[in-house]
A and B are shown apart, each in its own frame.
Chain A
Amino acid sequence: MVAIAVLNLYSTLETWWLIPFCVILLTGILCPAMGTVLITHKRLLQVNLISHCVLPGLALAVALGVSPSIGGVFSGLFGSLAAEALTNKKNENYEAIMNTILAGSLGLGVLLIPLLGIRIDLESVLFGDLLTANLGDLTRTIISFLVFISLILFGYEKLVHIGLDPEGASDSGIKVSYLNLLLGLTTALVIVSSMSAIGVILVIALLSTPALLGLQQAPSLWVAMVRSAMFGSLISVLGFLLALTFNMSPGPLVAVLCILLIGLLPRKRNN
């Protein structure tokens, strides 16, 4: 009887917002926490490369009839490997090459859509379409969340050592390249999972700005991650509510709010 009553109540309430809300809340927690790790490892440019590499994989996956997320994660991982190889070679033109691959990957993705004769809503992939988020999007976000939590639970101290002193970490027996690959894979997962909430291009704002605030005076990486996640969830929910109120697109609004958040960063005094 109770179950039927709950079901009746559920069906009478307006619940369409529930899944988008959960997706943006989880994304708002996950992206800044991930971003904190990436900023402390000086890997933010690589994240940009990964996010731009997602589109060609998405297009190919749709053409092959596979889940777009799987394609996105694989091409994101390819971007991560390319970034890793470029970083390791310490090429003096590293940043220029990275930016060229970044733009080229996005261009390839855009070209593949008409070439393969597929239909992809490019705008929602790049900039998010939160209000149409479904159970699949929520599941993807939860999976990414669990993968990230596992990485932190099992590799926290190693990640700290690598972020602080990569050579020392390698000397003490940590498999640095293996952990960097895992970090790249998790990043690709997080980016793909935040596609519906904020889009693969705008996600960089949610990965960086709350993390910058969370890192201020944090005594440890995990404290910084928790603080960043708090800032991130706050700004994401605020963006969601403002988007509903003013009938705007939530993804771009969250990215704009991130710019405003930069104003909260303390200014360093020049001596």
Chain B
Amino acid sequence: MEMLLFMASLIAENLTYSYSRQSQLVLDEVSVELKPGTLTALVGPNGAGKSTLLGLLQGRSKPDKGEITIDSHPLLDSRSQISLMPQRGKLNWNFPITVEGLVALGRVNHSRSTCCEVEAALQRVGISDLGKRRLDSLSGGQQQRALLAKTLMTPAKILLLDEPCSALDPPAREDFLLIIRQLAEAGLSLFVSSHDWGTSLNAYDKVVALDKHVLASGTPEVVKEKLDSFSCMHGSYCRA
């Protein structure tokens, strides 16, 4: 019962988005529901609108149509409930900073973070022994964990992870999936975008397949079955 107080659910309905009025739709009538304590995958080919959707859910950009609510409150009033872990390519990994330094930056409005908070975030992702190491001395998997720890410094209960496993080898990917599973079990709601629609989808509670609009949504088995009928998910552009 106590845990429910710290949970939040997100509902996005009929989101439509284009970069300009003349340009093609990037997202067309996309609806998503993220329940507390669930691990949801967002899969789709390149250009499917995954990052755009995450940007809308985070509140960075506004949809042309549609509505996003968190626990029945408009997104604008509840932005602190959402935190985004960006794609690897968005970060300057050669920046002179330690893992602790990176994690401490995740604190809201740059308020002073105590060492205990940083330590706790590092422990949650299993790299508490790497706090003093420089960021660029870590492996790709460890860097992703450090970035996740930074994301965990916010009070957000809904985490959006933009392709966190894209540069990881299979063992590191499995480790990462295990960590985010533990976070979901602790009551957080995680929405994880990915190119990988293979066996690793089984690690998720729910899968949303996107290619400008929602192709399929449901349990991994249900979505995989539906996806088999779409050639788009295997490389070519989808017209379904």
Contact = CB atoms under 8 A, between A and B. Distances in A.
A221 B110 contact: no
B219 interface: no
Nearest to B87: A167
Interface residues of B, number: 19
Contact of A160 (B58, B86, B105, B132): B105
Interface residues of A, number: 24
Interface in B95-113: 95-98, 101-102, 105, 108-110
A93 to B, nearest CB: 21
A265 interface: no
B60 A223 contact: no
B134 interface: yes
Contact of A165 (B90, B98, B109): B90
Contacts of B110: 157-158, 161, 172, 174
A229 to B, nearest CB: 14
Nearest to B90: A167
Interface in A209-246: 215, 217-221, 223-224
A224 B90 CA distance: 22
Nearest to B84: A171
B60 A164 contact: no
A40 interface: yes
B3 interface: no
A158 B109 CA distance: 10
B105 A220 contact: no
A119 B132 CA distance: 56
A168 B137 CA distance: 22
Interface of A: 40, 42, 157-158, 160-161, 163-168, 171-174, 215, 217-221, 223-224
Given A42-B92, A167-B90, A168-B84, 6 more contacts: A160-B97, A164-B91, A165-B90, A171-B58, A218-B96, A219-B134
